[in-house]
Amino acid sequence: MSLPDFLIAGVPKAGTTALHAALTGHPELFLPSVKEPKFFLSDGPPPVHGGPGDVQTYQEHVWRRPDYEALFAPAEPGALRGEATPFYLHDLAAHDRIRALVPDVRIILLLRDPVDRAHSNWTHLWNAGLEPEADFLAACRAEPQRRAAGWAQFWHYLDLGRYGRQLEHLYQRFPREQVLLLRYRDLKDAPAATLDRVCAFLGVRTGLLTAIPKENVNRHVVHDNAVNRVLRGLLRAGGTFGHRFPVPLRLAARGPLLTLLHRRKGTRPVTTPAERAELLPYFAEDIALLQDITGERYDDWLSVDRHARAPETPPIQ
């Protein structure tokens, strides 16, 4: 039976792609080329409707158990198998599915300042041509309506960052010694030491991984012309002119449309004090809960002025 020995279970836009890529270089570990199979996010087929681009994403879910196990079949004998789906922490029902199938699995979590994480999430979807709202705060205010309409988890900019509630639920299902809690900044600023922590947690040799692969990060895409507005409309509609084309053609159309959209780029924005001041009250109680649960301090997340905190280094995925 080929099932994972470890999961990179959270959180989106906090370095999970970089960690996945780095761990593939360890000879005692196996991670499939398919990142984010999302197997534990459902008990059967994924939804068939959602927000912009969600239907195409749902088609990528590996939800059948034989298909999921097949991802790990190529692993060398004795290698530890793992996968990265950063939505597992947020999906409380996934905690129970994981415990039922792989109760001894080791769980790795990367946490990021929840306001910065939300902003990076919005930027990601804006650059992909899917986010219809050009204003970050307006997109956050639209979250309740989007959730009610069944938009996928990646659109839950604020709720994805309520780590205290999520971790409290996870610790009720798994012993703490099976969970490794890291910070996004750890992976960026001290990659070798952080990768050694991960390897020690998994019980494989340390000292072999010293850096994370460089990830291509697009600069922010401008939105000040009519052509870009048309391109975004087509991408949100699935790359179709109406609904005349079949799904495979709609998926194939995304690449050329994104190439056109990305022909003009601007400076990637950062969260402003005003944005942080509006959003921090949403997270304050949950950050306090996170501190109580972990015994660690996250006071730097409570600062309104990002310049009063440690400076950001270039983002990783």
* Per-residue pLDDT reduced to its tens digit, 264-313: 555 567 899 999 999 999 999 999 999 999 999 999 999 998 654 544 45
| pLDDT over 70 percentage in the chain | 79
Spatial CB neighbours of 71, under 8 Å, sequence gap ≥ 6: 2, 32, 34, 37, 62, 83
Shared domain check, 194 and 61 = yes
- Is residue 52 in some structural domain? yes
Shared domain check, 186 and 104 = yes
CATH number for position 80: 3.40.50.300
Mean pLDDT of the chain: 86
Q: What pTM value is reported for the model?
A: 0.84
- Is residue 158 in some structural domain? yes
Axis crossing angle, helix 163-171 with helix 273-294, rounded to the nearest 10: 20
Shared domain check, 45 and 81 = yes
Q: Which domain holds residue 38?
A: 6-218+267-301
- Is residue 312 in some structural domain? no
Shared domain check, 253 and 123 = no
The number of domains in the chain is: 2
The CA-atom distances, in angstroms, between 214 and each of 15, 186, 217 are: 11, 16, 9
Shared domain check, 212 and 169 = yes
Shared domain check, 232 and 170 = no
- Write down the pLDDT at residue 225: 52
